[in-house]
Amino acid sequence: MSGQNVQRPLDALGKSVDSPVLIKLKGDREFRGILKSFDLHMNLVLNDAEELQDGEVTRRLGVVLIRG
């Protein structure tokens, strides 16, 4: 494998800043929002965040910090 097409997780996050993202967590929790920032520990800040259950919005949260 040459490594030219391999995308590292932090690179993928960097390309997704200011874009809509869907974050899936343990325990079947899902959050959707605009990725505003992240750090090396994979902590994420989302704007206009919504919590989803079975693909449906259950709560509108605004700005959230998801710990990595």
Domain tally, the chain? 1
Phi, psi (rounded to 5 degrees) for 61: -110, -20
For the domain that residue 44 is a member of, what is the CATH number? 2.30.30.100
Q: Is residue 1 part of a domain?
A: no
Alpha helices in 1-68 (DSSP H): 9-16
**How confident is residue 6, by pLDDT bands cut at 50, 70 and 90?**
confident
Q: Is residue 3 part of a domain?
A: no
> In this predicted model, what pLDDT tens digit does every residue of 18-48 receive, in sequence order?
999 999 999 999 999 999 999 999 999 999 9
Q: Residue written as tokens 């995308």?
A: 7
Nearest to 37 by CA among 60, 21, 57: 21
Q: Which pLDDT score, from 0 to 100, does residue 3 have? A: 57
Q: What's the pTM value of the predicted model, to 2 decimals?
A: 0.87
Under 8 Å between Cβ of 26 and 66: no
